[in-house]
Amino acid sequence: MINFNKPFITNKELKYIQDAISRGKLSGDGYYTKKCHEFIEKSFRTSKALLTTSCSSALDMAAILIDLKEGDEVIMPSYTFVSTANAVVLRGAKPVFAEIDEDTLNIDPKDIVRKITNKTKAIFPVHYAGVSCDMDSIISIAKSYNLMVVEDAAQGVNAKYNGKYLGTIGDIGCLSFHETKNYVCGEGGAILINQDGELAKRAEIIREKGTNRSQFVRGEVDKYTWVDIGSSYLPSDILAAMLYAQFENLDEINNIRKSIYNKYLELLRPLENKGLLKLPLIPKNCESNYHIFYILLNTPNERDLLMQELKSNGVHATFHYIPLHSSPMGRKFGYREGDLPLTEDISARLLRLPIHTGLKLCDVECIVQSIFKYMKVKV
Ligand SMILES: Cc1ncc(COP(=O)(O)O)c(C=O)c1O
């Protein structure tokens, strides 16, 4: 069986976890959490990074930070994970779903503009597959209409747009270190506050159950107390220790994924040239982190049959998001199937192929051979 995903494990995770335990500070904001914060701030160039228990909790924090409330609207793609929308809904606000761009499957800036009303408070762009949204257009729209931008960069860690790291371009960025992502600690995430000042100070408080405990720990106040709303969003230092080991292998992980991605592109190009499928596109101003490798088949039926065929050949390939507007929760907000035809069409034709650091180039050849066989094309 060729697995769809397998986390990269360096030899240092256990050593650092053991060290974290021997330091005796197992809760949040210990030695390794600080090292991770420094690493993210310095390497990805942002003014404030805070580890969280997941990207979902980073998004929840972001929704609190931008003061979302009942009656507000937030524009986001429908082609995303539930957490992007949940963060908004949990504050009583409404997710407004926009179409995606056919080439990158990222939110279409033209549809953002069409969906802006006097209730719109923010845009939550999602960087699909580790390839950036059109951030120049999104930032310019946000400036014109005075909107906040929260990047859902769950899949975009260590990827770039015009030389800037994803998650550091909007007002706030949210990262994921979930087991399925490129850099992992089991369950984990980070919130990036890309401006100095009040937002960063408030983020610390919201993350510490609404208390000013971080200021107390730094000796800035003589006792700590309840000063805002918040929850427990900080992960154990044991998880941060695991994550730090992964950060030390940032480039190695990226390079292995890149070689697999490029091998798929090279071997599958003849099928694209014959019009049998469509390959993903990385715009010139984007540097991918090669998080997902997907192909688009010509019809939903072809996608489903190929997925079955690969499964029977021991290859785990899979579909991706069910568009949120067509989900049971989406319908509760008044959305219907047919509202976003391109999103629905792409979702039904997309197939993700295995990509992880444990995959050998000969595994890629084997997977591609199965696809050629299914398409009845000679290798
Ligand atoms: C776009 C997007 N946002 C948010 C999340 C949630 O990340 P986490 O599992 O770290 O909460 C995911 C997870 O796959 C995702 O793909």
Atom 16 of ligand 1: nearest residue by CA position: 81
End-of-domain residue from the set 247, 275, 295: 247
Question: Domain check: are 241 and 287 in the same one?
Answer: no
CB atoms within 10 A of CB 258: 14
Atom of ligand 1 at shortest range from CA of 57: 11
Residues in the chain where the model's pLDDT stays below 50:
none
The 10s digit of each residue's pLDDT in 113-165 is: 999 999 999 999 999 999 999 999 999 999 999 999 999 999 999 999 999 99
**Which residue, judged by its Cα, is nearest atom 8 of ligand 1?**
55
Task: Select from 178, 180, 320 the residue to mutate for testing ligand 1; criterion: most ligand atoms less than 8 Å from CB.
Answer: 178
Tell me: do 236 and 257 sit in the same domain. no
Last residue of a domain, one of 222, 247, 272: 247
φ, ψ of residue 202 to 5 degrees: the values are -70, -35
User: Considering the domain boundaries, does residue 85 fall inside one?
Assistant: yes
Query: Do residues 355 and 296 share a domain?
Result: yes
Residues 231 and 365: their CA atoms lie apart, in Å, by 47
Q: Which domain holds residue 325?
A: 250-374
Q: Are residues 81 and 225 in the same domain?
A: yes
CATH classification of the domain holding 292: 3.90.1150.10
Q: Is the CB of 189 under 6 A from ligand 1?
A: yes
Q: Concatenated DSSP letters for 316-336? A: --B--PPPGGGSHHHHHTT--
Any domain includes 299: yes
> Same structural domain for residues 147 and 289?
no
Cβ–ligand 1 distance for 55 under 6 Å, the answer: yes
Tens of pLDDT, residues 160-205 = 999 999 999 999 999 999 999 999 999 999 999 998 789 999 999 9
239 and 307 housed in the same domain:
no
pTM of the model: 0.97
Confidence (pLDDT) at 378: 64
Shared domain check, 169 and 260? no
Dihedral in degrees, nearest 10, Cα atoms 46, 145, 84, 290: -50
Token pair belonging to 266: 């090279």
Report how many domains make up the chain: 2
* pLDDT value at residue 152: 98
Q: What is the pLDDT of residue 262?
A: 98
Helix (H) or strand (E) holding 277: strand 277-278
Looking at the fold, whether 332 and 314 belong to one and the same domain comes out as: yes
CATH number at residue 24: 3.40.640.10
DSSP secondary structure letter of residue 63:
H
